[in-house]
Amino acid sequence: MERLRDRVAIVTGAGQGIGEAIARRFASEGAHVVVAEISPALGEATAATLRAETGTRAQFIRCDVADARSVEAMVAETIATLGAPDILVNNAGIAVFGDPLDITDADWARCMSVDLDGAWFCCRAVLPAMLARGRGSIVNIASNHSFQIIRNTFPYPIAKHGLLGLTRSLALEYADRGITVNAISPGYIDTPLNQRMFAENPDPEARRKVEAKQPVGRLGRPDEVAAVAALLASDEARFIVGANIVIDGGVTIRMYE
Ligand SMILES: NC(=O)c1ccc[n+]([C@@H]2O[C@H](COP(=O)([O-])OP(=O)(O)OC[C@H]3O[C@@H](n4cnc5c(N)ncnc54)[C@H](O)[C@@H]3O)[C@@H](O)[C@H]2O)c1
């Protein structure tokens, strides 16, 4: 099923992990994807794979979402080469975890600028073109940390709570002008970000212990998140407005055991 045939989709941080899986899924549904990524090596590789596998016009455009000018240039290049964006997925994000009184001003600023400012810069850059055509879908990749707290993960949840606020605020502002804005909150997903964290953990059992805490007994897969993103980006979801779809194997519905 090609629900996104000939749509132009920008996916930030699509060089690996969840973003890459979303880019693949979108391309397999017929979209021409801009891989808006800070790493040229990762971004080029994803775009080349999409072109080879799907025959779509996937393109890497280097972009640091934390830099408003870099975002504006990426969107201008998208419009010039592929056309006006129909879909934006704000996926680029970093985990900055610490104790509140130990983190530095630089840690705080890095987290907020990538995880929250970055999403706003991208929304602000695509909205004029979407509004002019009266259609668009924005999907923000939030987190379980958007509505629950784990101690010692400060300030990541603050940025992710803010991202849900951004989602709901923009969703309502533009609901009657053809734009949908929604969020997806993944739980523990098996991506390079988490693989890195497990590798750095001195406990060799760290991964197994995390898996044991998941009600379904495993981590989620990036393609499972991508399937939800494809639905929200498609015309099948035009009545879903300002929603936050949780995809976490049931971990946040549990009280405690
Ligand atoms: N993996 C999980 O368990 C999990 C759970 C909940 C939410 N999330 C969120 O999902 C998103 C993707 O996570 P992931 O696990 O795939 O991460 P990842 O680290 O595996 O991949 C992130 C990608 O974003 C790119 N990137 C980083 N900073 C960027 C910037 N400033 N501008 C452009 N690109 C940038 C990286 O180069 C990388 O390709 C993030 O927003 C993360 O917070 C992940």
Torsion (CA) 184, 188, 191, 196 in degrees, nearest 10: 140
Instruction: Return the residue whose CA atom lies nearest to atom 36 of ligand 1.
Output: 13
Kindly report the protein residue whose alpha carbon is nearest to atom 32 of ligand 1.
64
Delineate the domains of the chain, giving CATH numbers in brackets: 8-245 (3.40.50.720)
Bridging pattern class, strands 154-155 and 97-98: antiparallel
User: What pLDDT does 93 receive?
Assistant: 98
DSSP per residue over 180-204, as a string?
A: EEEEEEE-SB-SHHHHHHHHH-S-T
Q: Tens digit of pLDDT for each residue in 53-64?
A: 999 999 999 999
- The residue whose CA is least distant from atom 19 of ligand 1 is 193
Q: Identify the pLDDT of residue 257.
A: 75
- In this prediction, residue 116 carries a pLDDT of 99
Amino acid 177: pLDDT:
98
Instruction: Give the model's pLDDT for residue 45.
Output: 98
Radius of gyration of the chain (CA): 18
pLDDT for the residue numbered 256: 83
- Residue 188 falls in the annotated catalytic set: no
Ligand 1 mutation target, pool 11, 25, 38, 63, most atoms within 8 A of CB? 38
Token output for 253: 């519905």
State the sign of the Cα–Cα–Cα–Cα dihedral 221, 224, 225, 227. Answer: positive
Spell out, as residue ranges, where the chain has pLDDT lower than 70: none
